[in-house]
Amino acid sequence: MSARPQSQVVIVGAGAAGDAAAMALRQNGFDGRVRLIGADRHRPYERPLLSKRYLRDEVPADRVFLHPAEKYEQQRIELLTGHTVVAARARERTVRLDDDRDIHFDTLILAPGATPRWPPEVPRASNVFTLRTLDDSAAIKWALEESQRMLLLGAGSIGAEVAASARLMGKDVLMVELGPVPLGRALGQEMGEIYARIHRSRGVDLRTNTSITRWLTAEDRVIGVELSDGKQEDIEAALVAIGVGAEVGLAGDLGLELGLGGVLVDETLGAAPGIYCAGDIAAHFHPVFGRHMRVEHWQVAQKQGAACGAAVAGTPKPYEELPWFWSDQYDLNLQYVGNAHEFDQVVWRGDAESEHFSVFYLKEGVIEAVLSVNDGRTGRLSRELIRRRLPVDARALTDVAGDLRELATA
């Protein structure tokens, strides 16, 4: 449904999704009022840099921003930074800011992102961090400059990227992971073992099947930890990286349907009449996979935000982009396309020992996702195979000399 001329769109969340939604509104001809509200004090920036190049001081602060400040003025986007939306009312069509201002909306795009999890047993100390914002990354960067040994609690994507950055900066890294291998549930046991080997071969002290039983503190700092294997380790800085929780509080205010840890939305990312969701909170019904999914990755958030902006401007269509994310760690480029919520077969293509390979995740012979390590071409050529939703010959996938494009058209 097309928005009324001169109507007002309010976007909650000035991250990748919110920024993309605001820009897409203008690019698709929307001429009404656009307000982009963000809790962060900074204008929108490129979050993937925070665990990699910005953290390693390879990119200056002014290069992390998505657009120059004046672009928002040029596009007539009212950017309200440093403000949290504390409540929303569906009947009144208003959101309330932390300064008690009520802002009316005709259409609302929710893109508030997520908050890193902080277990209650972890002390709130000056040298213990989570990583979500530019200010978080700056604080971790400073701590690394002043420290030699860092603890990473959790071996997921953020923990692994920070571990890699810290090692490249010459720091000692202790990584504690509760599971038997990193990312085992998402990538499978064998790939998890390779992931662990990659980090250990680069000097990370990775302890799997391990938890922290006690945090040792002095004044306002953590100075060490006791582990479930009975060992005590000295540390100078720590990062808690055990996942995030989507910010669904406003969705509850609005009476939206929740599921998969987020807000259930339809093929066009609509949650209710005049309300859309994008990014970490969007549990989107994906027409290719035929099920709802929620994906916490930067590129997905950008694409969904742009789709919301286009829909509000009057050109709604099913959001069919395949989920995709990438990670650079050490000299490795990892890319993942698709969404393997469940899989019953793992097929390898290439040489895992040489760290140039791809892994296909299949369910009942249908490719759900592909992980590529220094092999982005395989990932790109696999997109059509994922979209087809037809069983494939696993033996053909293993043949590095075979042409995946021919397999996709077979």
The Cα-based distances of 267 to 255, 311, 342 in angstroms read 19, 11, 21
Residue pair 313/30 in contact by the 8 Å Cβ criterion: yes
311 near 352, Cβ under 8 Å? no
pTM (2 d.p.): 0.96
- pLDDT, residue 6, reads 56
Averaged confidence pLDDT in the chain: 95
Q: State the maximum Cα–Cα separation within the chain, in Å, rounded to a whole number.
A: 66
Q: Is the pLDDT of residue 1 over 80?
A: no
pLDDT of 405: 85
Task: Give 3-state DSSP helix, strand, coil % of the chain, rounded to 5.
Answer: 30, 30, 40
304-336 pLDDT tens trace: 999 999 999 998 899 999 999 999 999 999 999
**CA 8 to centroid of chain Cα atoms:** 29
Give the model's pLDDT for residue 315.
87
Contact assessment for residue 205 and residue 229, using Cβ atoms and an 8 Å cutoff: no
**pLDDT tens digit string along 347-368?**
999 999 999 999 999 999 999 9
pLDDT value for 10: 98
65: number of CA atoms within 13 Å, CB side? 12
User: Other CB atoms closer than 10 Å to residue 388's CB: what's the count?
Assistant: 16
Contact 225, 151 (CB under 8 A): yes
pLDDT at 4 over 50: no
Reading the block at residue 31, the tokens are 């001429």
Q: Is the pLDDT of residue 80 over 60?
A: yes
Query: 171-227 pLDDT, tens per residue?
Result: 999 999 999 999 998 999 999 999 999 999 999 999 999 999 999 999 999 999 999
Angle formed by the axes of helices 157-168 and 189-201, to 10°?
Answer: 20
Pairwise CA distance, residues 238 & 236, whole Å: 7
- pLDDT tens for residues 153-177? 999 999 999 999 999 999 999 999 9
Say how far apart CA 172 and CA 30 lie, in whole Å: 51
How far is Cα 405 from Cα 410, in angstroms, rounded to an integer?
Answer: 9
Residue owning tokens 């932390």:
98
Q: Give residue-wise pLDDT tens across range 249-285.
A: 999 999 999 999 999 999 999 999 999 999 999 999 9
Tell me, what's the pLDDT at 2? Answer: 44
Residue 208 CA, distance from chain mean position: 23
Q: Which amino acid is at 1?
A: M
**CA 386 – CA 162 distance, rounded (Å):** 31
Confidence of residue 3 (pLDDT cuts 50, 70, 90): very low
Beta bridge partners of 346: 361
Check if the beta carbon of residue 88 is closer than 8 Å to that of residue 274.
no
Domains of the chain are: 8-115+244-312 (3.50.50.60), 118-240 (3.50.50.60), 331-409 (3.30.390.30)
Nearest partner of 202 among 171, 233, 176, judged by Cα:
171
DSSP category for residue 4: P
Residues paired with 295 in a beta bridge: none
